[in-house]
Amino acid sequence: MIVKSLVLKNYRNHTNTRLVFSDRFNIIYGDNGQGKTNILEAIYLCASGRSHRTAKDSELIKFGCDSFSINANVFNIGSLEKDIEIKYYENQKNKLKINEIPIKKIGALMGNLYAVLFSPEDLFIVKQGPTERRRFVDITLSQIRPSYFYNLQQLTKILKQRNTLLKNINSNPKLMDTVDIWNIRLAEVAASIITARRTFSKMLSNLAESQHNFLTEKSEKISFDYKCSFQITEDDDKNKIQNLYIKSLEKTLSRDIILGYTTMGPHRDDYDIMVNGKSLKLFGSQGQQRSAVLSLKIAEIELIKRETEQYPVLLLDDVMSELDNNRQKYLMESIKEVQTFVTCTSTEHFENLLSGESNFFKIVGGN
Ligand code: ATP
Ligand code: MG
């Protein structure tokens, strides 16, 4: 996929920024706080429907203004060009258009642009808690499978309703009769999410393993394993998982009522990232953790390509300076067919790494 051009109006510190991109490398450089990451964030928003830095769209509006807009012209192989438009007015929902046609659901945005973002914060995937790992998987899966995104939205809704029910049962014991209905609804959506996560993790793990073999000259074997919050086996199909989940919800019901929330389910899943069979979070050195994230990110690009037959665009936010020479070269080798956007404070770093056509954009104060 290729983002041909981008227009930002009153988006963060960009009043009216128009950029025409190279199909290969786009180096967005400038001093700190000038608006480089804001450009990557806008591209990412077009692909995933959310900013990687905030859940509040109102923060994206330029200070003192009441709306922002993003227009991205995207080209993907085997299909027509697409104009993605996102407009947001304070206190209203996003208004989305694809080729001038309004779309109602944010899920319909998915699949028009695939993007992989790689920033220093991605180290959190390894270092921090399960939320970061779920987020990593959920965002990628949502891009390549809109149905997964809808299921996640459903999951959040149903969990909210079930949790309200749990909180009210003590004061209104009659509500107990409705728990089964909520368990069934929850388990149906959960089983779809769980099977998707299980398949995704296996694919990602295999791809990351071959990347990592190459990067570490076979001295390290990486794995990325899905850990469902209740016991399932590899052969369990969706129906079986649904039933297993209902059983575990029944088992934990009394605890859930005391706590007032659902303690088991996809919102509690995790992923084990291991190197040579040992937890990377607990035993990996900083360098090993960085290498693992690099392998996972390259695997993510490959996975999107396999699933969608399109390479995603790659957004590298401040990562080049964090990688040593070998890893920089390795990354560059791996993304030969990927349109890449790089932010940096100085271009010195790149001149000997870049091959092919590159556009340079100097950003000063949102211009
Ligand atoms: P660094 O090199 O430090 O990462 P950067 O060039 O990537 O910097 P960005 O994160 O893109 O910087 O932009 C930060 C700038 O955008 C800051 O000056 C910040 O004040 C400004 N900014 C953020 N949100 C808004 C907003 N809603 N309205 C106006 N300006 C904003
Ligand atoms: Mg930045």
Distance (angstroms) between ligand 1 centre and the Cα of 17 equals 14
The rounded mean pLDDT for the chain is: 94
Q: Is the dihedral of CA 163, 165, 166, 168 positive or negative?
A: positive
- Residue 241 CA to residue 235 CA, distance in Å, equals 10
Cα–Cα dist 364/353, whole Å: 25
**Low-confidence winner among 9-18, 91-100, 118-127, 183-192 (lowest mean pLDDT):** 91-100
- pLDDT at res. 324: 85
CATH code 3.40.50.300 for 1-114+310-367: yes
DSSP 266: G
Query: SS3 letters for 113-155?
Result: CCEEEECHHHHHHHHCCHHHHHHHHHHHHHHHCHHHHHHHHHH
What percentage of the chain carries pLDDT values higher than 90?
A: 81
pLDDT band at residue 106, thresholds of 50, 70 and 90?
Answer: confident
| Residue-wise pLDDT tens digits, 255-289 | 999 999 999 999 999 999 999 999 999 999 998 99
Closest to 68 (Cα-Cα) out of 3, 4, 5, 7: 7
Share of the chain above pLDDT 70, in %: 98
- The band of 37, judged by pLDDT with boundaries at 50, 70 and 90, is very high
Instruction: Look up residue 362 and give its amino acid.
Output: K
Helices and strands in the chain: count of H runs, count of E runs: 10, 14
From 14, 32, 36, mutation site for ligand 1 pocket: most ligand atoms within 8 A of C-beta: 36
pLDDT in tens, 224-262: 999 999 999 999 999 999 999 999 999 999 999 999 999
Domain ranges of the chain: 1-114+310-367, 128-309
Which atom of ligand 1 is closest in space to residue 61's alpha carbon?
27
- In sequence order, what are the residues at sequence separation of 6 or more whose Cβ sits closer than 8 angstroms to the Cβ of residue 187? 242, 243, 245, 246, 249
300/314 Cα distance (integer angstroms): 10
CATH superfamily of 128-309: RecF/RecN/SMC, N-terminal domain (1.20.1050.90)
> What is the predicted ipTM?
0.99
The tokens of 347 are what?
């271009």
d(CA 194, CA 265): 9
Ligand 1 contacts (CB < 6 A) are: 12-13, 30, 32-38, 59, 61-63, 343, 345
pLDDT at 181: 96
Q: Which atom of ligand 1 is nearest to the CA of 65?
A: 28
The pLDDT tens digits for 298-343 are 999 999 999 999 999 999 999 888 888 888 888 888 998 999 999 9
Are the C-beta atoms of residues 214 and 330 closer than 8 Å to each other? yes
Which atom of ligand 1 lies at the shortest distance from residue 343's CA?
A: 7
User: What is the arithmetic mean of pLDDT over 135-144?
Assistant: 94
Q: How confident is the model at residue 77 (pLDDT cuts 50, 70, 90)?
A: confident
Degrees, nearest 5: CA angle 359-19-140: 85
